[in-house]
């Protein structure tokens, strides 16, 4: 069965966005080691799962990067543009983007179908609400949390909808020269 991996940037105090989704706290000047880590994480991915709100910015942004060979992130733009995307939405009935389908069914059922398909890993990028729902339902197999050197006091958490304690097993930590620290976890599954 395919794995669903979460890659997300967070603040030290656990937010992925400010109260209104602000991202001015993010470290954008990544060092080469962090870029290589993310490349290795996304290379075995053949499906990207997104919430609709994030998709509205994510898909057009990476398409514009992929259209400019002079952009330093051109290779990543190519990967994100060419990889199949599934956008979860309650408001869209069909995709407005190329190489993208819309999932409108039950989150558990739709992710279950994706995981059961033949293929490589699946990665999720999403807003706080979408990712919180995936965590609450126990659908994420690996969490790759990129902790930025900033605290914002309040904002959008991804563990806010967790119903009870979630035990996570730390798999890897990597400090990067740009100040970001990777914390990689897998959920402890009860037998």
pLDDT in tens, 90-105: 888 888 888 999 999 9
Average pLDDT over residues 154-176: 89
**E strand or H helix at 20:** none
The structure's pTM equals 0.92
- Using DSSP's 3-state secondary structure scheme, residue 129 falls into helix
- Over residues 105-133, the pLDDT tens digits come to 999 999 999 999 999 999 999 889 999 99
Query: Using an 8 Å Cβ cutoff, are 34 and 176 in contact?
Result: yes
Query: What's the pLDDT score for residue 191?
Result: 40
Q: Among 13, 36, 38, 16, which Cα is nearest to 26's? A: 16
Q: Among 101, 141, 146, which Cα is nearest to 124's? A: 141
Q: Please name the CATH architecture into which domain 4-187 falls.
A: 3-Layer(aba) Sandwich (3.40)
Query: What's the pLDDT score for residue 114?
Result: 96
Beta strands in the chain (DSSP E): 4-10, 15-17, 45-51, 84-88, 100-103, 121-125, 142-147, 156-157, 168-175, 181-187
């Amino acid at each position: 069965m395919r794995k669903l991996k979460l890659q997300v940037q967070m603040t030290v105090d656990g937010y992925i966005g400010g109260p209104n989704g602000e991202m001015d706290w993010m470290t954008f000047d990544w060092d080469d080691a962090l870029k290589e880590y993310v490349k290795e994480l996304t290379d075995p991915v053949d499906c990207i799962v997104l919430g609709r709100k994030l998709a509205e910015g994510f898909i057009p942004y990476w398409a514009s990067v992929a259209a400019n060979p002079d952009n330093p992130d051109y290779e990543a733009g190519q990967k994100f543009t060419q990889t199949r995307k599934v956008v979860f939405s309650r408001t869209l009935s069909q995709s407005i983007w190329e190489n993208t389908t819309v999932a409108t069914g039950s989150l558990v059922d739709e992710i279950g179908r994706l995981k059961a398909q033949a293929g490589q890993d699946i990665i999720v990028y999403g807003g706080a609400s979408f990712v919180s729902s995936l965590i609450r339902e126990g659908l994420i197999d690996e969490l790759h949390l990129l902790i930025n050197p900033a605290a914002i006091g309040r904002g959008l958490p991804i563990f806010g909808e967790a119903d009870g304690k979630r035990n996570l097993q730390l798999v890897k930590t990597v400090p990067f020269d740009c100040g970001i620290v990777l914390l990689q976890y897998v959920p402890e599954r009860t037998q």
